[in-house]
Amino acid sequence: MTQYIVRRLLMAVPSMLLVSLIIFSLVRLVDGDVVMARLAEGGYVTDDQLAAMRAELGIDRPFVTQYLDYMVHLMRGDFGKSLWDSQPVWNQIVDHMEVSLQLAVMSILLAIVIAIPLGIISAIRANTPLDYGARLFAILGLSLPDFWIATMLILGLTLWVGWLPEFGYWPIWEDPAKNLEALIFPALIVGYRFSATTARMTRSSVLEVLREDYIRTAWSKGMRERAVVLNHALRNALIPVITIMGGQIGFLLGGLVVIETIFSLPGMGRLMFNAINQRDYPVIQGITLVMASIFILVNLLVDLTYAVIDPRIRYS
pLDDT tens per residue, range 88-111 = 889 888 888 888 888 888 888 888
Residue 81 three-state SS:
strand
Q: How high is the pLDDT of residue 99?
A: 87
CB 105 within 8 A of CB 192: no
Q: How high is the pLDDT of residue 41?
A: 59
CB 253 within 8 A of CB 156: no
CB 201 within 8 A of CB 240: yes
What is the distance between the alpha carbons of residues 210 and 203, in angstroms, rounded to a whole number?
A: 10
User: Domain 89-309's class?
Assistant: mainly alpha
CB 234 within 8 A of CB 90: no
What is the distance between the alpha carbons of residues 126 and 124, in angstroms, rounded to a whole number?
A: 6
Name which of 154, 166, 168, 172 is nearest 102 in CA terms: 172
pLDDT tens track for 152-167: 888 887 778 777 777 7
Sequence-ordered list of residues with C-beta below 8 angstroms from that of 316, at least 6 positions apart, any chain: 1, 3, 4
Q: How high is the pLDDT of residue 168?
A: 76
CB 216 within 8 A of CB 244: no
Residue 223 three-state SS:
coil
Weakly modelled stretches of the chain, pLDDT under 50: none
Domain ranges across the chain: 2-75, 89-309
User: Which residues, listed in sequence order, are joined to residue 81 by a DSSP beta bridge?
Assistant: 88
DSSP category for residue 279: T
Q: How high is the pLDDT of residue 46?
A: 66
CB 146 within 8 A of CB 193: yes
What does the chain come to in residues? 316
What is the distance between the alpha carbons of residues 244 and 304, in angstroms, rounded to a whole number?
A: 15
Q: How high is the pLDDT of residue 313?
A: 67
Sequence-ordered list of residues with C-beta below 8 angstroms from that of 227, at least 6 positions apart, any chain: 218
Report the interhelical angle of 268-278 vs 89-124 (nearest 10°): 130
pLDDT tens track for 288-313: 888 888 888 888 888 777 777 766 66
What is the distance between the alpha carbons of residues 225 and 219, in angstroms, rounded to a whole number?
A: 8
User: DSSP letters of 125-151?
Assistant: TTTSHHHHHHHHHHHHHHHS-HHHHHH
Residue 44's φ and ψ, nearest 5 degrees, are -135, 135
Cα–chain-centroid distance for residue 117?
23
Question: What global pTM score does this model have?
Answer: 0.80
Mean pLDDT of the chain: 81
Which amino acid, residue 47?
Answer: D
Q: How high is the pLDDT of residue 284?
A: 87
